[in-house]
Amino acid sequence: MRYDTARMRHIGMALGYPRCCVDHFCGSLDRGVFPADGLQDGEWRGTGFVPCPDHAGRIAREGMAAVLPSIEANRLAPFPFQFGHGAGPDLVQEYVDALDAAAA
């Protein structure tokens, strides 16, 4: 499966995710590897955010406080970071649909 990683990179940055995490996620997809493997058991599970290995380690030690202030500071999306299983991806999808509608 091919992914539109240029678009995903744009969305990841608009959601305020650290550049290293966006690079890791999109770079893995560009190499045909789904990057969530082994990284899905943290507090971010179900949010759509997939940390890079460095951030996954920091979050494991410090909790989401290791990354949340930076996400909130850099976020352009008009809703807070989407904690909660199931609710998050819907919010993200709504935002992505709105971005697509604006770009059409």
- The footprint of Zn ion (CB under 5 A) covers 18, 20-21, 52, 55
Q: Which of 17/95 has CB closer to Zn ion?
A: 17
Distance from C-alpha of 48 to C-alpha of 43, rounded to nearest angstrom: 11
Distance from C-alpha of 66 to C-alpha of 94, rounded to nearest angstrom: 27
**One-letter identity of residue 20:** C
Considering the complex, what minimum distance in angstroms separates the CB of residue 36 from Zn ion? 14
Considering the complex, what minimum distance in angstroms separates the CB of residue 11 from Zn ion? 16
What's the farthest any 2 CA atoms get from each other in the chain?
42
Q: Which of 27/89 has CB closer to Zn ion?
A: 27
Considering the complex, what minimum distance in angstroms separates the CB of residue 104 from Zn ion? 31
Nearest to 22 by CA among 7, 32, 40, 44: 7
